[in-house]
Chains A and B, each alone.
Chain A
């Protein structure tokens, strides 16, 4: 080693990172590579799809391809598109809110009245097992073909699951805490408002998260059955006239909308979790 190199040593030593810094750098790198890979995967998928269609490995008439999807999105009247989105979003939102509210109400009643719970148990089991889509024709005849039928379908698909999961949460509250409140002389209503509800806030938010997904299932199913507008309508219409570009474009929009709604509920969840400390 030359004198010159030796004199540089202390300076190089100072650059050695602490274990903490090494760990944090590794964590950051991990996160960055994960995100890059996620984005990369999407681009590879789109690229391969486009390439396969251009080169002729697949028939874009049947599979469509990214450039054609973009093209058709360009040709659709924006106002028209928003009307379709508006219909689907509206049906989904109304169904979601109605099913969640009604589900919570029914669950509370079942929690409050033991006899009612016992009597209703087999009916809930059967309704839960039943594929709700089978009720489609009945719904159409009873409420009419239109937006109302789609909302009813959405509510039916979400409702029973909501009731069951909320009721489970209500029933799972620690017996010791109930006993404590009873020893203080709390009424059933007080037990509900002071203990059962607050203890279930995280579970309720979780239920909302599940319902977002189910509400989309209900809405699109409903639109497949009866509709004159909406993304589900576009998909069905597109497939019937064999316009796969339209089908794919609608699916992509649907994907974005569902993600946005899910993220909105997830944001609510984070806020609630922060407020309701602990589990």
Chain B
């Protein structure tokens, strides 16, 4: 059984003046350990889809299940990484990383050690007691990812997580995040408007239509390279880029 399943999902936004159909009949299944990228024309409702999967909004019709259970925010099954790192300036890195655990009242010795071990493993160990303003953009992004992984979510949602970092850091952060996710054997769903980012990171790319969003086409990307940077250098990268780009812009 798939880890994440969206079954005939519709979402209609109600406002005072209007009714907007954001998502129509969206079906998607993600298996454990997969890295999926969600791309589509801007404003097609990619973030809306993520919000539904995170349990922040419920679909108008259809169902969203993680591990067979309907999602709810706070189940701890889904970790959401937003566009900006959103580290709390008044908390140390360590205390930021514990945030999810403390919200979910899972701040046990074991979980603490798990989170701290991850900080050590991914080069932030010596910055435990530092404040976010003392860290570089790339390090902050890594800290934000570890904060999300600390409460061991089954599924990781990434909403354009690199859009707020400058281009140069972006490449390395992209590599970092990818290797951490693969290393921890996490299932991830990435939303991005950057097609090259999607091609370089994902095992599968789901192209959405314009609003109302529904699945247009799914590609299994088979670039044989270990990291996003290496994939970008691979000869078949540009072909993949063209194929996806045509599908998105058609």
The chain A residues found within 8 Å of chain B, CB to CB, are: 174, 176-177, 179-186, 190, 194-195, 198-199, 201, 276-279
Contact = CB atoms under 8 A, between A and B. Distances in A.
Interface string B55-67: 1100000000000
B151 A184 contact: yes
B172 to A, nearest CB: 23
Given A181-B99, A181-B103, 20 more contacts: A174-B86, A176-B82, A179-B80, A180-B80, A183-B54, A184-B99, A184-B100, A184-B104, A185-B75, A186-B74, A198-B90, A198-B91, A199-B88, A199-B90, A201-B90, A276-B90, A277-B90, A278-B89, A278-B131, A279-B89
Contacts of A185: 72-76, 103-104
Contacts of A186: 74, 103
A177 B88 contact: yes
A182 B89 contact: no
B133 A184 contact: no
B102 interface: yes
A182 B104 CA distance: 11
A183 B73 contact: yes
Chain B contact surface mostly: loop
A3 B89 CA distance: 66
Interface of B: 54-56, 72-76, 78-80, 82-84, 86, 88-91, 99-100, 102-104, 131-133, 151
Contacts of A176: 82-84, 86
B151 A180 contact: no
A278 B132 CA distance: 9
A182 B79 CA distance: 11
Contacts of B83: 176
Given A179-B82, A184-B104, A198 B88 contact: yes
Contacts of A179: 56, 80, 82
B67 to A, nearest CB: 16
Which of A180, A201, A276, A277: most chain B CB closer than 10 A? A180
A178 B86 CA distance: 9
B133 A278 contact: yes
A277 B133 contact: yes
A179 B91 CA distance: 18
A195 B88 contact: yes
Contact of B78 (A174, A183, A278, A279): A183
10 contacts: A174-B86, A177-B86, A180-B80, A182-B73, A183-B55, A183-B79, A184-B104, A184-B151, A199-B88, A279-B89
A181 B79 CA distance: 11
A199 B86 CA distance: 12
Contacts of A181: 99, 103
Which of B56, B82, B86, B151: most chain A CB closer than 10 A? B86
Nearest to A278: B89
Which of A182, A183, A185: most chain B CB closer than 10 A? A183
Contacts of B73: 182-185
A203 to B, nearest CB: 13
A219 B171 CA distance: 61
A276 B88 CA distance: 10
B68 to A, nearest CB: 19
A180 B82 CA distance: 7
B104 to A, nearest CB: 6
B128 to A, nearest CB: 15
B89 A194 contact: no
Nearest to B82: A176
